């Protein structure tokens, strides 16, 4: 498990770190950055960023511990993870990354980060529909089909009691 956590940490720094932190920071304007910390609404935008980071990290740990893999497609989980946040949405890691970007768009009041978020969301959707879902169907078969029928792809909902 130790090595799965190390590989997960490396992947997290390289991929989600680039998408959710590095790119938005390169897109923010210097003027917005100077004024952001002074605004109450800007500081409130840190909530989705922090929630998104927690969501991503929770799910990445679940992949390593429960799924016996990592978030990296080349070292995907060997066990279908349907517990934790995966009870509410099939793609909570993507939701977490999007929340981190949205938080920065609000914090910096940045239209360019907002546009970037829309591009990232479209890329996530295309990747999930064209690669991930077909791969998961091949790997997990009926178990994944049942999961898809009971848990929404993107927008979380509370599980049935």
Residue ranges of domains in the chain: 2-150
Query: Tell me: the pLDDT tens digits for 93-140?
Result: 999 999 999 999 999 889 999 999 999 999 999 999 999 999 999 999
- For residue 144, give the nearest of 67, 56, 52 by alpha carbon: 67
Query: Tell me: the pLDDT tens digits for 46-74?
Result: 999 999 999 999 999 999 999 999 999 88
Is-above-0.85 flag for pTM? yes
Specify the pLDDT at position 74. Answer: 87
Q: How far apart are CA 61 and CA 71, in angstroms?
A: 9
């Amino acid at each position: 498990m130790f090595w799965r956590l190390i590989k997960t940490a490396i992947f997290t720094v390289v991929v989600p770190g680039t998408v959710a932190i590095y790119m938005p920071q390169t897109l923010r304007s210097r003027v917005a950055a100077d004024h952001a910390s002074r605004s109450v609404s800007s500081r409130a935008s840190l909530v989705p960023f922090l929630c998104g980071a927690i969501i991503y990290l929770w799910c990445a740990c679940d992949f390593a511990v429960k799924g016996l893999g990592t978030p990296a497609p080349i070292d995907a989980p060997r066990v279908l993870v349907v517990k934790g946040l995966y009870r509410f949405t099939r793609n909570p890691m993507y939701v977490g990354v999007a929340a981190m970007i949205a938080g920065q768009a609000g914090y910096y009041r940045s239209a360019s980060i907002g546009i970037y978020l829309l591009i990232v969301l479209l890329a996530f959707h295309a990747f999930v529909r064209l690669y991930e879902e077909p791969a998961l169907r091949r790997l997990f078969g009926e178990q994944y089909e049942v999961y898809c029928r009971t848990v929404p792809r993107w927008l979380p909902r509370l599980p049935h009691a």
